[in-house]
Chain A
């Protein structure tokens, strides 16, 4: 079974440019998460989807970040315009449901460097 797929793996852009990340979750997983991971820190939730509905986007900086999950399957996270402080790893994860004991399955992440 294929795991969570993310692309690109690495991205280098200049500040003020737009950037987009793509995630394809494990087939059948209804819940999809986007996390931000800064160096030396744990993942911090940006947005969580249940199917196509964003159920928790309280930590998403909506002035420059946007996300969508069309048809409740794959998802795109966009930053426009990017700032130097956005340099980090962006992780996508999925889980079968939303019960408390549910395991999250993570993709390899997209490492973003903003110059």
Chain B
């Protein structure tokens, strides 16, 4: 079956530091890939996505590139802010059964001033 493996947290950074959260996946088909973010007390919300190989998703300074050869979708940001403190989830959506999504366990990011 499908699976998503995320870098274990928690991750603690100082403001303006560079962020990388690793995500690798296993899928039988050719999935779409997502990063969702969950702020304290809120539901998950889409941060960015990519639907085919070599696509780069980007939003709010975050980027991730769909790497089919390494089955990865690592999240990066050049300069984090305190407001980026949240839990980040990598997810995939099966192309064969398009409504079927698999989520990673989440990585908690804390950014200190």
> Which of these, A43, A55, A100, A102, contacts B44 with CB under 8 Å?
A43
Taken together as a complex, chains A and B put the C-alpha atoms of A75 and B105 apart, in Å, by 26
Would you call A91 and B43 a contact (CB within 8 A)?
Answer: yes
Q: Mark B76-113, 1 if CB is under 8 A from A, else 0.
A: 00000000000001010111011111011110000000
Taken together as a complex, chains A and B put the C-alpha atoms of A31 and B99 apart, in Å, by 8
A-side interface size class: 20 to 34
> Which of these, B45, B91, B98, B104, contacts A99 with CB under 8 Å?
B98
Would you call B31 and A43 a contact (CB within 8 A)?
Answer: no
B51 at the interface (CB under 8 A from A): yes
Give every chain B residue within 8 A of A101 (Cβ-Cβ).
32, 49, 51, 93
CB proximity to B under 8 Å, residues A23-72: 31, 33, 40-45, 48, 50, 55-56
Would you call A50 and B32 a contact (CB within 8 A)?
Answer: no
* Known A91-B43, A100-B51: A42·B32 in contact at CB below 8 Å: no
> Which B residue's beta carbon lies closest to that of A4?
B43
* Known A99-B98, A100-B94: A41·B51 in contact at CB below 8 Å: no
Would you call A42 and B42 a contact (CB within 8 A)?
Answer: no
Would you call A98 and B99 a contact (CB within 8 A)?
Answer: yes
Would you call A42 and B45 a contact (CB within 8 A)?
Answer: no
Closest Cβ of chain A to B56, distance in Å, is 14
Find the residue from B34, B45, B51, B98 having the highest chain A CB count within 10 A.
B98
> Which of these, B45, B95, B103, B106, contacts A100 with CB under 8 Å?
B95
B61 at the interface (CB under 8 A from A): no
Residues of A that sit less than 8 Å from B by CB = 3-4, 31, 33, 40-45, 48, 50, 55-56, 91, 93, 95, 98-109
